[in-house]
């Protein structure tokens, strides 16, 4: 029977597919860490109180990258190159979503509009991250090899999502409401397309490694297209709503960030 659990177990049990999975995940997290690290240094004067939270967000993502690398190391595996068609972060940038890496490399303060763009992009991508980690948590929260990592990352992604809701609502109250709604919608539409393309690419690479039958590969592709159809028909709205996280306010405000690491240069 084809299920999320059986599919992931298959990927987990094969060294080559596990190394590819962890390498893709580690690269995405490191890029997210670098982006947030840069944004925290370029926050405009009017939003300075956000800077430590953005830095904390970046440190969390870098920590996630290190966790995926450690999972590989524990198995004696090395990182493998990330195929460009599986590079979610770069493909989102190519779709015109969020702030570009070229902009973030400049030592020039961002505008308030840039902060709205960054936070809206994060609101959408953290929804995806939070949902994916909750799925892994459901199936692998007690797994001996993965459980601890999955629990820690899932908790962090939920915090990142809560933080995005809270900060966007604050910016909406200060007059950015219409812009936020417009950018959130654009981001969600681009994200669901990019997620579909990346999912198809990841499954194609896994299928080659794990020698899936044409029927199994076709079934998985159909599932990915069905998910996109659901998201296109209205599922995207879950990525653009804003609700105050009353049970998790100031989720990134705790002044105890994880240890700093060597800056990544994606
Ligand atoms: Fe993360
Ligand atoms: Fe995150």
pLDDT attached to residue 259: 52
Give the closest ligand to the alpha carbon of residue 36: 2
Tell me, in angstroms, the distance from the centre of ligand 1 to residue 126's CA.
8
**Does some domain include residue 254?**
no
Q: For ligand 2, a single-atom ion, which residues have Cβ within 5 Å?
A: 126, 129, 157, 160
Tell me, in angstroms, the distance from the centre of ligand 2 to residue 220's CA.
26
Give the closest ligand to the alpha carbon of residue 161: 2
**Does some domain include residue 99?**
yes
**158, 46 contact by CB (below 8 A):** no
User: Rounded CA gap, 123 and 242, in Å?
Assistant: 9
| Chunked mean pLDDT (size 10), the chain, 266 residues | 89 98 98 98 97 97 98 97 98 96 97 98 98 97 96 98 98 98 98 98 98 97 98 98 97 66 47
The residue range of the domain holding 68 is: 13-239
Tell me, in angstroms, the distance from the centre of ligand 1 to residue 57's CA.
9
Tell me, in angstroms, the distance from the centre of ligand 1 to residue 248's CA.
18
**Does some domain include residue 248?**
no
pLDDT attached to residue 169: 98
**266, 82 contact by CB (below 8 A):** no
Tell me, in angstroms, the distance from the centre of ligand 1 to residue 264's CA.
14
Tell me, in angstroms, the distance from the centre of ligand 1 to residue 29's CA.
5
Tell me, in angstroms, the distance from the centre of ligand 1 to residue 157's CA.
6
pLDDT attached to residue 1: 64
**Does some domain include residue 164?**
yes
**Does some domain include residue 250?**
no
**Does some domain include residue 1?**
no
Give the closest ligand to the alpha carbon of residue 122: 2
CATH code, domain carrying 37:
1.20.1260.10
Residues near 71 by beta carbon (within 8 Å), at least 6 away in sequence: 22, 145, 146, 149
Looking at the structure of the chain, the number of domains it has is 1
What pTM was computed for the model?
Answer: 0.94
């Amino acid at each position: 029977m084809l299920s999320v659990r059986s599919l992931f177990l298959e990927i987990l049990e094969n060294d080559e597919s596990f190394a590819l999975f962890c390498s893709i995940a580690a690269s995405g997290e490191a890029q997210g860490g670098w982006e947030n690290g840069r944004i925290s240094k370029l926050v405009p004067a009017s939003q300075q109180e956000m800077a430590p939270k953005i830095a904390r967000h970046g440190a969390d993502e870098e920590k996630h990258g290190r966790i995926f690398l450690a999972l590989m190391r524990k198995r004696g595996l090395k990182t493998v190159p990330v195929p460009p068609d599986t590079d979610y972060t770069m493909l989102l940038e190519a779709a015109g979503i969020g702030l570009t890496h070229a902009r973030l490399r400049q030592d020039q303060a961002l505008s308030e509009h840039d902060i709205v763009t960054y936070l809206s992009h994060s609101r959408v991508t953290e929804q995806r991250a939070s949902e994916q980690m909750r799925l892994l948590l459901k199936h692998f929260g007690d797994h001996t090899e993965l459980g601890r990592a999955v629990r820690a990352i899932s908790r962090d992604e939920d915090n990142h999502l809560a933080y995005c809701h809270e900060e966007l609502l604050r910016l909406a109250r200060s007059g950015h409401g219409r812009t936020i709604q417009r950018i959130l919608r654009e981001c969600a539409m681009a994200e669901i397309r990019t997620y579909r393309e990346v999912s198809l690419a990841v499954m194609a690479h896994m299928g080659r490694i794990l020698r899936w039958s044409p029927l199994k590969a076709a079934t998985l592709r159909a599932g990915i297209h069905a998910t996109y159809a659901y998201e296109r028909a209205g599922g995207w709205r879950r990525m653009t709503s804003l609700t105050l996280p009353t049970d998790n306010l100031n989720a990134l405000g705790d002044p105890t960030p994880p240890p700093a690491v060597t800056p990544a240069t994606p």
